[in-house]
Amino acid sequence: MKRYQGMVFSQAKKAFLTDEEAEDFTQEVFLKTYESLSQFRGESQFSTWLFQIARFRLTKVFKKKKLPITDWKEDISSVADHSKPSVVDILDKEETSHNLRSLIAKLPKSYQMPILLHYFENKPLKEIASDLNIKLGTIKSHISRGKDLIRKWWSHEIES
């Protein structure tokens, strides 16, 4: 849980309005993961499997939430307010995020771990270098090379 809670929580913060909702969702995901642990077959990385559980739980939460019908003036103002993402936007973003995670899972481990720690757990580069016992310049290089590979694979997937 310690290893992946930052990843799940950072994604939950993007989907929910308050940190409290994001924390509750994160706990729910880890509870569901624990309950389903016997079903993990090891065909993918644990982080990929965990992310799938989080994604399905997020979809379920938003399907359960039935927003009350409000006054038409409020509806118009909410449509005009582009700062609040719609459920469709959030789910689309989750799909993109899932595709990105799949590409990250294909990276060599030396590139994968620094990218996950920096972008999904929001760890500073110096801390990553210290934790992995690798020079800071090497961490920067691995992240850069990993991002280049992801860009290459991403553009290839879009073309096909």
Residue 68 φ then ψ, to 5°: -70, 150
pTM of the model: 0.46
Q: Is the pLDDT of residue 66 over 60?
A: no
Q: What is the pLDDT of residues 18-63, one digit of tens each?
A: 888 888 888 988 998 888 888 888 777 888 788 788 877 877 776 6
Q: What is the pLDDT of residues 127-136, one digit of tens each?
A: 999 988 999 9
Q: Is the pLDDT of residue 138 over 90?
A: yes
Average pLDDT (117-139) is: 89
Contact between residue 155 and residue 123 where contact means Cβ atoms under 8 Å apart: no
Per-residue pLDDT at 65? 57
Q: Is the pLDDT of residue 84 over 60?
A: no
Q: How far is it, in rounded angstroms, from Cα 21 to Cα 17?
A: 7
Of the listed ranges 7-11, 17-21, 58-62, 63-67, the least confidently predicted one is: 63-67
Q: Mean pLDDT of all residues in the chain? A: 76
Contact between residue 139 and residue 81 where contact means Cβ atoms under 8 Å apart: no
* CA distance readout (Å), 107 to 64, 76, 118, 145: 36, 45, 15, 10
Per-residue pLDDT at 131? 86
Q: In the chain, where are the structural domains located?
A: 1-106, 108-160
Per-residue pLDDT at 135? 96
Residue 55, phi-psi category: left (phi > 0), alpha (psi -120 to 50), beta (remainder): alpha
Q: How far is it, in rounded angstroms, from Cα 81 to Cα 105?
A: 36
Three-state secondary structure call for residue 135? coil
Average pLDDT (85-93) is: 57
CATH number of 108-160: 1.10.10.10
Q: Does domain 1-106 have CATH number 1.10.1740.10?
A: yes
Q: How far is it, in rounded angstroms, from Cα 81 to Cα 8?
A: 27
Q: Is the pLDDT of residue 116 over 90?
A: no
Q: How far is it, in rounded angstroms, from Cα 16 to Cα 47?
A: 21
Structure tokens at 81: 């307010």
Q: Is the pLDDT of residue 13 over 50?
A: yes
User: At 28, which amino acid appears?
Assistant: E
- DSSP H helices in 4-124: 5-15, 19-35, 46-64, 72-80, 87-106, 109-115
